[in-house]
Amino acid sequence: MDERNTNRISALLAQVVYRHLIGAVAVSAALLLPAASGLAATSCANGSFDAWLTGFKSDAAAKGISPTVISAALNGVTVDQSVLARDHSQKVFGQSFEEFSGRMVPPRLTRGSNMMKQYGSVLSRIEQVYGVPGEVLVAIWGLETDFGANTGKYQTIRSLATLAYDCRRADEFRSELMDALRIVERGDLSLAEMRGAWAGELGQTQFMPSSWIKYAVDFDGNGRRDLLHNVPDVLASTANFLASHGWQRGKDYGPGGPNFAALQQWNKSEVYTRTIATFATQLTRAP
């Protein structure tokens, strides 16, 4: 066989191999597309809520959540349209500092001062451990829930499932829903107790489940991290959050002070953060 025929045969063989490889890649891609589409359909509102919930249950099981908790928490859960309405209608914080602090601080000052006295020994111990003074914790407590009087009535699991399915912040709320199941799994709260604000905040200082998992502490040593009913746990966990976000013992927490940035990790709104600082300062001056 001469060299030209050899080259021609080699070229033909190369074409056959190339076509075979292209075909194999096309088949592989075709096989992968339905799976990818299926994953996308269960990631948020592109598919039915039931399909999404089934996928989430599988993910929860893979992450170690027990079948008992998964079933009890998620069976029968439906989308909460009132939560979607609240989420979609949010507006940027519009009040000035003077308006907001003037509305929020004076009505809470007397009770805040009483709380400083009632929980004085607990607050002192918390400051020894975390470096956060009691007036800051009581100010946050008062602003968030009126010292535990208004923690919210929304079903936390339903709210988080709704927001995870909605696609606006699907990954964020999917993670929060998983952490809410972990709170139940480790016995901090029962499912019946999992009620709070519409966006999933829980407890007397309104922790998102992810913050609960990271920063909640059992300060009174009763074996549970209970930020819904247990005031020492509530206040110490709030202090732990701030300490974990750079709080410096003994330093100023007013605007421009070293600890103002730690307060802003609690709430990104400068108006709200300044109000915490103002409320705390006034508590130190209260009789």
Identify the pLDDT of residue 13.
39
Q: Are residues 224 and 143 part of one domain?
A: yes
Count of domains for the chain: 2
Q: Are residues 260 and 148 part of one domain?
A: yes
Given a cut of 70, whether residue 146 has pLDDT beyond it is yes
> Other C-beta atoms within 10 Å of 114: how many?
13
Task: Name the phi and psi angles at 262, rounded to 5.
Answer: -65, -40
For the annotated catalytic residues, the residue numbers are: 144
> Domain span at residue 11?
1-43
Mean of pLDDT over the chain? 86
In a domain, 7, yes or no: yes
> Other C-beta atoms within 10 Å of 193: how many?
15
Convert the pLDDT of each residue in 45-104 to its tens digit. 667 999 999 999 999 999 999 999 999 999 999 999 999 999 888 765 678 999 999 999
Identify the pLDDT of residue 89.
84
Residue 176 CB partners (closer than 8 Å, separation 6+): 160, 163, 164, 200, 208, 209, 210
In a domain, 10, yes or no: yes
- For residues 92-118, give the mean pLDDT: 93
Q: Are residues 93 and 25 part of one domain?
A: no
Q: Are residues 30 and 140 part of one domain?
A: no
In a domain, 254, yes or no: yes
Tokens of 4: 């030209």
Convert the pLDDT of each residue in 2-34 to its tens digit. 433 444 434 433 443 333 333 333 333 322 323
- Which residue type, as a one-letter code, is found at position 32? L
Q: Are residues 5 and 114 part of one domain?
A: no
Identify the pLDDT of residue 92.
56
Instruction: State the Cα–Cα distance between residues 274 and 58, nearest whole angstrom.
Output: 44
pLDDT category of residue 168 using cuts at 50, 70 and 90: confident
Give the CATH number of the domain where residue 279 resides: 1.10.530
Identify the pLDDT of residue 205.
98
